Amino acid sequence: MVARQLDEQIVGRFPVGKRLRVLDVGMGQGTQALRLARAGHQVTGLEQDATMVAVARESLAGEPEGIRKRMRIIEGDGRDTGVHFLPGSFDVVLCHGVLMYVEEPDPLLAGLARMLAPGGLLSLLVRNGDALAIRPGLSGDWSGALAAFDTVSYLPHSRTDSNGGTPIRPGLDVRADRLKDLTSTLAGIGAPLHAWYGVRVFTDTAADGAKAPADVETLLAVEEKAGRTDPYRGVAALLHLCGVRG
């Protein structure tokens, strides 16, 4: 779902066939980064978890030489992009499933915006702080639902993220962000919000490890439609925001 939304934004922002310089911050096991490298883009993956880096490198080693040359992997923290790269070095910066682990995200986001060339695209995938009561409420966890109102504080979360199905790091609590706050932050760092989507509007309440339904294509079509349509997208478990560097 996020990949399709990202492709839509890339096509809308850049000439067809343009080979983009992409930075994937917190790339996890590298699924999204590899997908973009296979599409012909020059991709840099930045990840601080050594286990994830090893998995990504193993996956990359099995790719054809042309793809291996288009992708590099750096073990490091997304808050240190200024150490590794010059400002304006990338056309697209991805930060998917990362902000939930960062207590103060504004400095990280400002650093990522500096990495963008003019007209560059910043793609964020975050937990939706305006919908934290939905999942516990629908599952009958009334005390959990009540506690989730009016908060974006650290809350337990055991599901996988959307960066290629990478498991949420065990033993960590995660936070959420509100659309209004991120809209203001993106404007303040010179990459105002261009488009946003909901992710997991209906399917977030499915049991972990549940079997995919027989009509999975229809399910995906429903999720994609809901993720673009008000008021449904506003109660999605995750938000996908796309900002554009002025």
72 in Cβ contact with 27 (< 8 Å): no
Query: What does the pLDDT look like over 10-43, one tens digit per residue?
Result: 999 999 889 999 999 999 999 999 999 999 999 9
Higher pLDDT, 208 or 74: 74
- Which strands make up the sheet holding 193-199, listed edge to edge? 71-75, 42-47, 21-25, 90-96, 116-127, 238-244, 193-199
Question: CA 152, CA 186: separation in Å to the nearest integer?
Answer: 18
Could you tell me the pTM of the whole model?
A: 0.90
Domain boundary assignment for the chain? 2-244
* 3 state SS of 137: helix
Report the amino acid identity of residue 141: D
Report the amino acid identity of residue 150: D
Q: How confident is the model at residue 150 (pLDDT cuts 50, 70, 90)?
A: confident
* Mean pLDDT to the nearest integer, 57-66: 96
Question: CA 132, CA 145: separation in Å to the nearest integer?
Answer: 8
134 in Cβ contact with 237 (< 8 Å): yes
Supply the Cα-derived Rg of the chain in whole angstroms. Answer: 18
Q: Reply yes or no: is the peptide bond before residue 105 cis, omega within 30 of 0.
A: no
Does 153 have pLDDT greater than 70? no
Please, what is the end-to-end C-alpha distance for the chain in angstroms?
26
CATH class given for the domain over 2-244: alpha beta
159 in Cβ contact with 204 (< 8 Å): yes
